[in-house]
Chains A and B, each alone.
Chain A
Amino acid sequence: NQSDSTQASQGDGGKKLVVGATMLSMQNEFIVNVNDEMAKQAEDAGVELITVDAERSALKQVEQVESFIAQKVDAIIMNPCEVEASSPAVAKALAAKIPIINVNSETSTKPSAFVGSDDVESARIAMKFIADKLGGKGNIVMMHGYMGQAAQIKREQGAREILKQYPGLKLIAHQTAEWDRAKAMDLMENWIQSYGSGVNAVFAHNDEMGMGAVKALTDAGLKNKVIVVSIDAIPDALQAVQKGTLDATVFQNAEQQGSKAIEAAVKLAKGQAVEKETLIPFQLVTKDNVAQFMKKPE
Chain B
Amino acid sequence: MPFDRDYVLTIRGLTKTFSGVKALDNVELTVRQGEVHALMGENGAGKSTLMKILIGLLTADSGEILLDGHELKNGDVNEAMKRGIAMIHQEIMAVPELTVAQNIFLGRETTGSLFGWLNDNHLNQQAKQLLDQMGISIRPDTRMKYLSVAEMQMVEIAKAISNDARVIIMDEPTSALSDKEVATLFGIIRDLKQKGVAIIYISHKMDEIFTIADTITVLRDGQYIGTRPAADLDIDRLIAMMVGRELGSLFPESSIRKGNEVLSVRRISRTGAFSDVSFSVHEGEVLGIAGLMGAGRTEVARAIFGLDRISSGEIRIKGQPVVIRSPQDAIQYGIGYVSEDRKGWGFVPRLSVKQNITLASLPNHTKGGLLQEKSETDVATKMIADLRIKTASPDQHVLYLSGGNQQKVVIGKVLLASPDVIILDEPTRGIDIGAKAEIYKLINQLKASGIAIIMISSELPEILGLSDRILVLTKGKQAAMLSKEEATQETIMAYAMQY
Instruction: Determine direct contact between A and B, CB below 8 Å.
Output: no
Chain B interface residues (CB < 8 Å from chain A):
none
